[in-house]
Amino acid sequence: MTTPAAPAPAPAAPASVPGKTIGIVGLVLDFFFPLLGLILSIVGKVQSNRAGVKNTPATVGIVLGIIFIVVYLIIVVSVVGGLLAGCGSLGPGVHHVNGVTLTCS
């Protein structure tokens, strides 16, 4: 009589990439909070680099974070510059322009 063979061991779970989850979270946050997304993407990239593995989501998160921050800064500077230019041409006081109230000093 033969004895049944022992079942084969289950395959090992794939090793997780250190920093990959943080890199993905940073990538997603780039679209809503670019500075926070950039910081988390950098943290994920550093963790992956220390482990010697590639972390594409963190790299993309870093690039997008920088791009979004630059775009937001350009928008803020242009809006503030437009308001200051409007006050420069109107002079001091309270002005109503196109339904918007500007208070210039």
pLDDT at 89: 81
25 Rama sector, left if φ>0, alpha if ψ -120 to 50, beta otherwise: alpha
Q: Is residue 11 part of a domain?
A: no
In a domain, 64, yes or no: yes
Q: What is the pLDDT of residues 52-84, one digit of tens each?
A: 999 999 999 999 999 999 999 999 999 888 877
Full residue range of the structural domain in which residue 93 is found: 20-104
- Does residue 14 sit within a domain? no
Please give the tally of structural domains in the chain.
Answer: 1
Query: Is residue 52 a part of any domain in this protein?
Result: yes
In a domain, 82, yes or no: yes
Q: Is there a domain that residue 48 lies in?
A: yes
* Residue 97 lies inside a defined structural domain of this protein: yes
pTM, full prediction: 0.70
Q: What is the pLDDT of residues 12-67, one digit of tens each?
A: 555 677 899 999 999 999 999 999 999 999 999 999 999 999 999 999 999 999 99
